[in-house]
Chain A
Amino acid sequence: VVVVVILALIAISLLGWWLNKRQVNVAVMSIGVDFFQVLAIFSNLKIAWPPQIKVLFRILSAFNLNIEIVAPECLMPTITFVQKWGIIVGLPFILAGFFGFLYLLSVAKKYFFNGIREKKKLWGSMSLLVSSVLILSYLFYLYMCRTIVDVFNCVPTNPPDGNLYLSASFERCTTDFNIFWTSPYPDFIKDTSQAKLYFPALIGVIVIMFGYPLTLTYILHKNRELLMEDQLLRAKGVGNDKLTNPNALYFRKKFGRSYFQFKPEWYAWILAILTRKCAIAVTALFNKSASFQMATCLLIIFSAYTAQVQVLPYMSPSDYPDVLLKHEALAAKGDMLHTRLKASISSISSMGKKVARKNIMNSEGTISRDALLGLLKSWLFNYNTVEAVMLFATVVVCAMALMYQVCRRHLMPLMALLLAYPATLSLSHLTPPLLTHTHTFSKPFSLIEDRLFEQHVRKGFG
């Protein structure tokens, strides 16, 4: 198993290197990873999932870099919950330390073997280290939050025996956390995992659950103008070298992975994603009722879905012209921020050819199939659509789980849902402002309408 895991890690590293080499936009990858991570976390909820779904979730938990997959208990039968908890929470720090060590080795090699003395050249690849640590933190965030919350997750037995037990290790625990602030601890809790991990978990809450997003907020907000400039340059198809990105290149290299997939004005959307992940991890504590727990998850995911389709924060390649147009329009209106940004980037030429928009309706008054397909393709492969579809699928899974919990094998609610959605979709086409959550799915229709209108106006003026 260990060999397989090591081989898998090497394969993932090679894949990452290859994708990086081909400069594949990994925005779409992060969307998928988020989806799989959230689904995998559902398996830890109190819902009595069917065995097939459990297996599915267990497979998907690989995206959480879940060490449970390699069954550490089998490799080391004496491993305790405390040790396992320490390994999971400490793993990103260990990996970050390992990267740091490799970085120092490369600096030493440059210094001693290549004879480089100039600081800039010696420490030049620091941005790569920071970028790697940020990717690690993002990947591990949900799993770490979930693991930290495990220390506070006490459940009664069924039938109840009057005591509470730690959900993860079936040891006695308490929800009266005041006793950890007094000494000595009561006998029933003295040598338990919860007593040993209470303070480390509190530090984890501060440093990881809140510290990481808050630090990221500070960095992104402080450099918002710089990163907006960087995103506008990205929309221009340039910015990967000092020549075309004189101001923000080093910021891009260091922190680019935290904002590169979003539109300039939604540069901090990663915080919305992290908040969603953190909230889902915390639902583990609402363990009195499985239905309540799942309903909470449904609420979180549905809120995320609504926000997503309302804001459309992702910046796909097909969105680049619109992002630049919007920026130009805001600058023309006198928006101070965009005026400054325009001054910074105006002398930098765009790369690539301008996107030509085909007319949907040709001169004979018939609909052009190519133009229509092109429009649908750009909608289908838009990252906002991908994110909306993933969130919608998660909403469906939550709703199904809720039904499964409340009335198993009862088909009526299921049929109601399956029938309700297409009905809502068609209604939303007639009255789009009323039902924002269907916006994404009715988007192709509105795109076609917009394009026809644009063509009509152009014809009129022409």
Chain B
Amino acid sequence: LDSITAVIILTVSLAIIYYVTVLFTEIYVLGTADGRKKSLKASKSGLLSSSKPVTEAEFDPGIVSTQVNPNFMKAKIGTEEDGAMSIADLLEAIKSTKEAPTDIEMWNKFKGSLQELKNSVNQSEEELHSLTEEERLVKIESEYSQSSDKVSKTSGTGARRVIRNEVAASSSSAPLRTSRRNPLGDESPSLTGINPMLSSGRRSGIFSNPLSPGATGGKSPSTVRGLSTLRSDESFSTVSPMAGRRLSKADASGPSPSRADASGPLPSS
């Protein structure tokens, strides 16, 4: 070997050794997509996705904020107008007991409720997918009328008390279910007729995790209104539960381009 060849081989070898070290560290030490085993554990085998009760050893209050995050509420629970607002009440009720998130028994009850809610949502989605477009609309109409009744029954502080009692009494019954799924079956993030993420910020607790330590009740309405700035490349559609018609982006444009405004008249609660 002459010196130049030796230097080339040495350089390439050192680079390969360094690279292989980093690669194996990535695979075996960090081990996950983002080097966060905790995150993966929480998301993949998290408490909520597991059907068995949480044990003392498994209980980690830190995971509560992961499991009961506002996105879950947004996507799966819906809004007051959908008749599912009481889930937020449910959360508030749990919060107000001062027992969650440190009490395992309470957490298990709460988890069971959410799990059932999740199952009911999935079932509802499957049902809807099996229907024709017309049947879906009929179903949505009927569900809408049911949910309106429910909202009228469950709104207000009295309702909160009822729900709190329900939660305390039994974890086996699904507390409430969301009403309307997107009947078009498209890939819109909004699973409910009105996109709860955007419809309003009136109720605290929709957009924040009331269980997280130090939670003060979520984003202010002004923060939520910040969403009214639509992205130019974003398309969305939604079905107004009242009008039963599909709103286009053009419908949403106007002096106040908020998607909350674009979602049509809201059902009275």
Contacts and interface: CB of A to CB of B under 8 A. Distances in A.
Contacts, number: 171
Contacts of A403: 4
A32 B23 contact: yes
A396 B11 contact: yes
B197 A234 contact: no
Which of B4, B12, B197 has its CB near the most chain A CB atoms (within 10 A)?
A: B4
A24 B26 contact: yes
B74 A347 contact: yes
Interface stretch (A195-203, A243-251, A271-279, A450-458): A243-251
A246 B75 contact: yes
A24 B15 contact: no
Contacts of B14: 393
Interface in B33-89: 33-36, 38-40, 42-43, 62, 65-66, 69-72, 74-76
B157 interface: no
Interface string A23-59: 1110011011001000100000000001011001000
19 contacts: A23-B40, A24-B31, A25-B30, A25-B32, A25-B33, A28-B22, A120-B129, A223-B233, A243-B72, A246-B74, A246-B75, A246-B197, A344-B227, A349-B70, A349-B71, A381-B26, A386-B19, A389-B15, A396-B7
A279 to B, nearest CB: 21
Interface string B222-253: 01001101010110000000000000000000
A346 B219 contact: yes
A381 B25 contact: yes
B35 A347 contact: no
Interface string B175-192: 000000000011101100
B209 interface: yes
A414 B3 contact: yes
A403 B208 CA distance: 63
Given A246-B75, A246-B197, A344-B227, A386 B5 contact: no
B4 A23 contact: no
Contacts of A393: 11-12, 14-15
Interface residues of B, number: 60
Interface stretch (A167-175, A404-412, A424-432): A404-412
A411 B8 contact: no
Contacts of B32: 22-25
A241 B74 CA distance: 14
Contact of A250 (B8, B18, B187, B234): B187
Nearest to B44: A23
Contacts of A352: 34, 36, 38-39, 42
A353 interface: yes
Interface string A328-350: 00000000000110111011110
A340 B229 contact: yes
B1 interface: yes
A340 B231 contact: yes
B9 interface: yes
Nearest to A380: B22
B197 A347 contact: yes
B19 A32 contact: yes
Given A24-B27, A237-B39, A349 B65 contact: yes
A400 B8 contact: yes
Contacts of B226: 339, 342-343
Contacts of B223: 343, 346
A24 B23 CA distance: 10
A309 to B, nearest CB: 16
Given A118-B185, A317-B34, A390 B19 contact: yes
B110 interface: no
A403 to B, nearest CB: 6
Given A39-B12, A243-B72, A403-B4, 20 more contacts: A22-B32, A25-B32, A28-B22, A50-B4, A53-B5, A53-B8, A226-B234, A234-B34, A237-B34, A238-B39, A250-B187, A340-B229, A347-B74, A352-B36, A352-B39, A380-B22, A389-B15, A393-B11, A397-B8, A404-B4
A320 B36 CA distance: 11
A240 to B, nearest CB: 7
B23 A28 contact: yes
Interface in A215-252: 222-223, 225-226, 234, 237-238, 240-244, 246-247, 250
